Amino acid sequence: IEARGRLMREVIHRLASSAKTHSEMTEVSHILSNRDTDVLCELGKKINPDDASAAALEEALNEVGTRKCKSGVPDEWELKESAWSEYDPSFQHISTRAHQQASENRPKQKAGAPCLPYAPRPLPSHNLFNRLR
């Protein structure tokens, strides 16, 4: 389950900067550890035994992204508005330029809507550090 969370985090941050094709999104597997890749392949076998690694990515894309079909060019994935709450402006696996693009792409605050936090809640800390939080 932690491997799936790391995959989702990578996918969200890739899509936050700009719409991406499926081919561009497969590069996420190069960033994940071999252990995470193995776990995701095992999860993917339950979805599609013929293409296990792509099945886990496809499931993540469907959860946080919207496929935009265009004629004559490859389909692109865009980040769903609901997934922006998980965007972290200090995420280290994308470039400064990608963070700048994400800041420009971030949905605008709607009138009358509650103020959204700029960054997600911090991940739970180890038990030894709980007293510091």
* pTM of the complete model beyond 0.85: no
The average confidence (pLDDT) of the chain is 85
At 133, the pLDDT band (50, 70, 90 cuts) reads: low
Per-residue pLDDT tens over the stretch 61-88: 999 999 998 888 889 999 999 898 889 8
- Position 15 scores a pLDDT of 94
Predicted confidence (pLDDT) at residue 119 exceeds the cutoff of 80: no
Comparing 72 with 114, the larger pLDDT belongs to 72
Could you give the C-alpha distances from 35 to 6, 7, 32, 48, in angstroms and in order?
12, 12, 8, 20
Per-residue pLDDT tens over the stretch 92-110: 888 999 999 998 998 887 7
> How far apart are the C-alpha atoms of 16 and 4, rounded to whole Å?
18
> How far apart are the C-alpha atoms of 34 and 37, rounded to whole Å?
5
Could you give the C-alpha distances from 10 to 50, 64, 87, 113, 129, in angstroms and in order?
24, 11, 10, 28, 26
Predicted confidence (pLDDT) at residue 124 exceeds the cutoff of 70: yes
